[in-house]
């Protein structure tokens, strides 16, 4: 009888070799090889096949499912109005950003109406207890375990069928049948598959926390993001000690939705009016303009700051943060072309306050006004906001969802709104100033020229 043969297979690309090596020659992944035992030649693995029954969708019975709401409004809104039953969710972020704290607070609120199992694979039960007591998260229906064996976790969930299952974190879980180390690509892929089947087949909502790489992306194979229903990032803003919860994938809600929290001794507290903090620091000095852009379903009010100064270098500097570098250079070129302002010989420094990043073209008018305000050293009127897009021909174009922008701005005392001439506005309590092209923008600075 022939002996069994041992080979090593890459869990990332399935490349095989007869001995273990550190880096895969095919996909260049490190520490991705696992040992595989192959049976004697001539033996075949027995497989079972199931008969597939195809059905028409109109014959499938469905019922309306209520989302699992925690009562934490910032969380519920970002996940799409509450957690969808039978969904698999990943929460990831920097070490120490507050992922475990947020999960514990959410679980405690959900435990008021649902049975919640919390598996802490990184901390002992004693450590979890200390944090839970500090956060006052000790509800009777919130049960804890420090088990890391995924087969045992799945078996427990199948037997007791909790409404919500929390695993913190997935990188520390392991499958006994898989010889790969915990946190490896093979382990993460297998673990996510088993958890996905558990959620769908047993009607259990599962939230897992995950680590990120040094590049700031979720650690693990890309297939992990494809398998789950939603991916949320918890990010930090050092200026206000604010935590930003961002939706980057959500099958049951909008993406790029934002939720804001503030860390204190009692955990993460909601910040429902982040615009109040953002707008309180606006200086309305030369080079400062207020704009609005929509993330998910929420308008965010931000200050654009521009500084233009005649350059002493052969190639003028262009230092831009918070907005696409090319967008600022493009707007500067349009202003020079049609207004004959020589911004090409000026150093341009441009930033968005608050550490946010604007990807929308609705800030074009604000960028132009910030550059002109700094160039002429004339401030714009106080309590004003710019909402418009600029074409390559210098025409000012209307933007979408103008009503949401205006409604949010007027809540915080905005009195003047700069828009395109043909922008349709249903209702506005503020003074609306309309502009056809960039030539008309000079009217705002004529007094100081």
pLDDT band at 391, cuts 50/70/90? Answer: very high
Q: Quick one: DSSP state of residue 354?
A: G
Give yes or no for residue 124 having a pLDDT over 60. Answer: yes
Asked whether 295 and 248 are in contact (CB, 8 A), the reply is no
**Smallest Cα–Cα separation from 418: which of 369, 345, 376?**
369
Percent of the chain scored above 70 by pLDDT? 91
**Together in a domain, 255 and 341:** no
pLDDT of residue 2: 47
Helices 125-135 and 99-110, axial angle in degrees (round to 10): 70
Give yes or no for residue 259 having a pLDDT over 60. Answer: yes
For the chain, report the end-to-end CA distance as a whole number of angstroms. 97
**Together in a domain, 280 and 247:** no
User: Regarding beta strands 164-168 and 205-210, do their DSSP bridges make them parallel or antiparallel, or are they unpaired?
Assistant: parallel
Residue 46 lies in a domain: no
| Average of per-residue pLDDT across 407-433 | 88
pLDDT band at 449, cuts 50/70/90? Answer: very low
**Together in a domain, 268 and 282:** no
Q: Give, in degrees to the nearest 5, the angle at Cα 304 between 301 and 306.
A: 175
Number of helices (H), then strands (E), belonging to the chain: the values are 10, 21
Report how far residue 205's alpha carbon sits from residue 230's, in angstroms, rounded to the nearest whole number. Answer: 12
Give yes or no for residue 440 having a pLDDT over 90. Answer: yes
Percent of the chain scored above 90 by pLDDT? 39
What pTM, to 2 d.p., does this model score? 0.74
More confidently predicted of 300 and 41: 300
Lowest pLDDT segment from 16-30, 91-105, 150-164, 355-369: 16-30
pLDDT of residue 61: 79
**Together in a domain, 230 and 340:** no
pLDDT of residue 237: 67
Residue 45 lies in a domain: no
Report how far residue 449's alpha carbon sits from residue 285's, in angstroms, rounded to the nearest whole number. Answer: 16
Backbone angles phi, psi at 23, to 5 degrees: -115, 135
Last residue of a domain, one of 230, 249, 272: 272
Return the CATH number at 296.
3.30.230.10
- Cα dist from 147 to 101, 160, 275, whole Å: 19, 16, 42
pLDDT of residue 42: 43
Report how far residue 307's alpha carbon sits from residue 287's, in angstroms, rounded to the nearest whole number. Answer: 6
Give yes or no for residue 324 having a pLDDT over 50. Answer: yes
**Together in a domain, 20 and 160:** no
For residue range 139-175, what is the model confidence (pLDDT) as tens digits?
Answer: 888 999 998 888 999 999 999 999 999 998 888 888 8
Last residue of a domain, one of 215, 248, 272: 272
Residue 398 lies in a domain: yes
pLDDT of residue 41: 46
pLDDT of residue 10: 78
Report how far residue 210's alpha carbon sits from residue 330's, in angstroms, rounded to the nearest whole number. Answer: 39
Domain containing 20: what range? 5-38
For residue range 179-199, what is the model confidence (pLDDT) as tens digits?
Answer: 666 767 777 888 888 899 999
Number of domains composing the chain: 3
Last residue of a domain, one of 248, 272, 296: 272
**Together in a domain, 313 and 238:** no
Report how far residue 383's alpha carbon sits from residue 284's, in angstroms, rounded to the nearest whole number. Answer: 8
**Together in a domain, 164 and 260:** yes
| Average of per-residue pLDDT across 107-111 | 92
For residue range 198-226, what is the model confidence (pLDDT) as tens digits?
Answer: 999 999 999 999 888 776 677 666 777 88
pLDDT of residue 66: 86
pLDDT of residue 268: 87
On average, the pLDDT of the chain sits at: 85
Lowest pLDDT segment from 273-282, 296-305, 385-394, 436-445: 273-282
Residue 61 lies in a domain: no
More confidently predicted of 210 and 46: 210
Q: Give, in degrees to the nearest 5, the angle at Cα 432 between 426 and 436.
A: 100
Report how far residue 370's alpha carbon sits from residue 379's, in angstroms, rounded to the nearest whole number. Answer: 9
Tokens of 305: 């700051």
What is the per-residue burial (b if ≥16 Cβ within 10 Å, else e) of 162-172? bbbbbbbbbbb
Residue 58 lies in a domain: no
Residue 356's SS3 state is coil
Give yes or no for residue 1 having a pLDDT over 70. Answer: no
Residue 88 lies in a domain: yes
More confidently predicted of 281 and 101: 101
**Together in a domain, 183 and 311:** no
Backbone angles phi, psi at 197, to 5 degrees: -65, -40
**Together in a domain, 265 and 413:** no
**Together in a domain, 124 and 197:** yes
**Together in a domain, 254 and 343:** no
Report how far residue 367's alpha carbon sits from residue 288's, in angstroms, rounded to the nearest whole number. Answer: 9
For residue range 223-241, what is the model confidence (pLDDT) as tens digits?
Answer: 778 888 999 999 886 555 6
**Together in a domain, 129 and 172:** yes
pLDDT band at 50, cuts 50/70/90? Answer: low
Residue 50 lies in a domain: no
Give yes or no for residue 71 having a pLDDT over 60. Answer: yes
Q: Where are the beta strands (DSSP E) in 284-345?
A: 288-295, 298-310, 318-321
Residue 74 lies in a domain: yes
Return the CATH number at 267.
3.40.50.300
Q: Where are the beta strands (DSSP E) in 312-415?
A: 318-321, 346-352, 384-386, 389-390, 396-397
Residue 235 burial (CB count, 10 A): 17
pLDDT of residue 238: 56
């Amino acid at each position: 009888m022939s002996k069994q043969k041992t080979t090593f297979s890459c869990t990332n690309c399935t490349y095989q070799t007869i001995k273990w090596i550190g880096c895969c020659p095919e996909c260049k992944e490190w520490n991705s090889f696992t040992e595989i035992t192959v049976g004697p030649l001539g033996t075949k693995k027995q497989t079972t096949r199931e008969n597939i029954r195809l059905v028409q969708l109109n014959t499938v019975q469905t019922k309306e499912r209520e989302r699992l709401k925690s009562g934490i409004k910032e969380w519920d809104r970002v996940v799409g109005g509450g957690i969808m039953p039978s969904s698999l969710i990943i929460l990831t972020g920097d070490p120490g950003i507050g992922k475990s704290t947020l999960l514990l607070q959410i679980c405690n609120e959900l435990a008021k109406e649902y049975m919640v199992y919390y598996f802490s694979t990184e901390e002992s039960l004693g450590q979890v207890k200390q944090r839970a007591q500090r956060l006052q998260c000790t509800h009777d229906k919130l049960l804890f375990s420090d088990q890391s064996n995924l087969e045992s976790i799945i078996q427990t969930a199948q037997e007791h069928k909790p409404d919500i299952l929390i695993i913190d974190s997935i990188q520390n879980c392991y499958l006994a049948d898989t010889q790969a180390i915990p946190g490896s690509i093979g382990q993460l892929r297998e673990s996510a598959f088993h958890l996905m089947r558990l959620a769908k087949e047993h009607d259990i909502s599962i939230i897992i926390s995950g680590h990120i790489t040094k590049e700031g992306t979720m650690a693990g194979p890309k297939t992990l993001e494809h398998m789950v229903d939603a991916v949320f990032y918890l990010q930090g803003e050092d200026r206000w000690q604010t935590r930003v919860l961002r939706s980057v994938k959500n099958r049951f809600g909008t993406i790029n939705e934002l939720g804001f929290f503030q860390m204190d001794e009692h955990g993460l507290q909601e910040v429902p009016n982040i615009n109040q903090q953002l707008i309180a620091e606006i200086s309305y000095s030369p080079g400062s303009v207020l704009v609005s852009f929509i993330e998910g379903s929420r308008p965010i009010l931000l200050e654009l700051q521009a500084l233009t100064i005649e350059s002493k270098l052969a190639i003028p500097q262009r230092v831009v943060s918070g907005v696409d570098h090319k967008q600022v250079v493009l707007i500067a070129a349009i202003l020079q072309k049609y207004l004959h302002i020589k911004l090409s010989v000026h150093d341009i420094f441009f930033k968005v306050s608050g550490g946010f990043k604007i990807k929308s073209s609705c800030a074009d008018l604000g960028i132009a006004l910030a550059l002109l305000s700094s160039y002429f050293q004339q401030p714009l009127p106080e309590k004003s906001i710019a909402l418009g897009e600029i074409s390559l021909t210098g025409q000012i174009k209307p933007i979408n969802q103008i009503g949401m922008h205006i409604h949010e701005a007027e809540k915080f005392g905005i009195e003047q709104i700069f828009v395109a001439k043909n922008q349709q506005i249903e209702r506005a309590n503020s003074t609306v100033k309309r502009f056809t092209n960039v030539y008309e923008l000079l009217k705002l600075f004529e007094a100081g020229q």
